[in-house]
Structure 1
């Protein structure tokens, strides 16, 4: 399974924000520059993370973004579930009719479903705090002062 860029960018934004000092604000431009990714892509990601309640956006001249929750409360599995739009690993996982002739008897669907469940269960074991155990290393690599 491959995560979408949207999920990847969502996780990167959260890592960036968690690497900063608590309550220190960031902005889209600095995050985009730190990762070398499109500012436009990040605008949508940040908007959605705000709607999810994971980050707080502050408008105005001195505004910016920051984590809305402590890193210990941001579950990686939950973020992946909320940002991925398609966990249909194969055609028969979808809601529509399957064109696969072996669908009625195929055991692969059950194996892949178990694998996906295990994958997500492992992600559920980790929080953002687990990911950024040494925020100073992240700050250095991301150019955070």
Structure 2
């Protein structure tokens, strides 16, 4: 399975923040560190906050911090939320399915089972097990 860059950066943000949970991070700081568009990362951070994994504060001293202890954040839940509207194959999409095999396709059920197993396996791991701590000089 291939994850979108949106999910990839969402996981990176959480891992980075878990390494220094007391430090708020601005979108600009993280965008610079990850070498990604600030606009793209703002959407990622907004989604993480909407799902209850981050708290955001505006103004001086503001930024984003973890909203929950890393031990309570399951990676599968994060991936499932961030990948939520991404169909792994065309026939999983609610609209636009043009596959003529769909009515009798047996692959769709197998792919759905594999996807569920992927998320379940990721849910065996918490963010606490993937904390990133930058090297300090």
The answer to whether the superposition gives a TM-score over 0.5 is yes
Partner Cα distance (2:35, 2:98) in 1:
41
What residue in structure 2 maps to residue 92 of structure 1?
91
Aligned residue for 2:46?
47
Matched position secondary structure for 2:104: coil
* RMSD (CA atoms): 2.0
Structure 2 distance, partners of 1:103, 1:25, is 48
Give the CA deviation at 1:28: 1.5
Give the one of 106, 123, 134 matched to 1:139: 134
Task: For residue 100 of structure 1, report the CA deviation from its aligned partner.
Answer: 2.7
Distance of 1:47 and 1:118 partners within structure 2: 27
Task: Return 5+ residue gaps in structure 1 as ranges.
Answer: none
Q: Following TM superposition, by how much is the alpha carbon of 1:113 offset from its aligned partner in structure 2, in angstroms?
A: 1.4
Partner of 2:61: 62
Give 1 or 2 for the bigger CA radius of gyration: 1
Count of residue pairs the alignment pairs up: 137
Which deviates more, 92-101 or 79-88?
92-101
- Which of 66-75 and 104-113 deviates more? 104-113
Q: Distance in 1 between matches of 2:100 and 2:27?
A: 48
Deviation at 1:103, TM superposition (A): 2.5
For 1:89 and 1:47, locate their aligned partners in 2 and report how far apart those are by CA, in whole Å.
24
Provide the C-alpha distance between the structure 1 equivalents of 2:31 and 2:128, rounded to a whole number of angstroms.
22
Q: CA deviation at 1:39?
A: 1.2
Where in structure 2 are there 5+ consecutive unaligned residues?
none
1:19 corresponds in structure 2 to 19
TM-score, normalization: structure 1? Answer: 0.83
- How many Å apart are 1:117 and its aligned residue? 1.2
2:10 paired with 1:32:
no
